Amino acid sequence: MKVFVDRNACQSLKRCVELCPEIFELDAEGKARAAREDVPAQLEGRVRQAAQACSAGAIQLDKHSFQQP
């Protein structure tokens, strides 16, 4: 699974950072970004929680990225 943060949509609510600091971090302007796009399997649950918790809808998941062609 891959994760992306839409920087323009982010409202600096920090829920993603609280739920999964291994993946999400804030930049100097307080906007979230994904420290790494590829989400390890053991973190997928918390990254999904973060995406649901982000009321700004700024976190996008690519659920198909790991499927083989």
* Interface ranges with ligand SF4 (CB under 6 A): 5, 10-16, 32, 54, 56, 58-59
Return all residues near 31 (Cβ < 8 A) that are at least 6 apart.
Answer: 5, 7, 10, 12
CB < 8 Å & 24+ apart, contacts of 23-30: 23/47, 23/50, 24/50
> 11 vs 43, which CB is nearer to ligand SF4?
11
Compare residues 29 and 67 and give the one whose CB is closer to ligand SF4.
Answer: 29
CB of 65 to ligand SF4, least distance (A): 19
Cβ nearer to ligand SF4, comparing 12 with 65: 12
Q: CA-CA distance, 59 to 50, in Å (whole number)?
A: 8
What is the closest distance, in whole angstroms, from the C-beta atom of residue 68 to ligand SF4 in the complex? 30
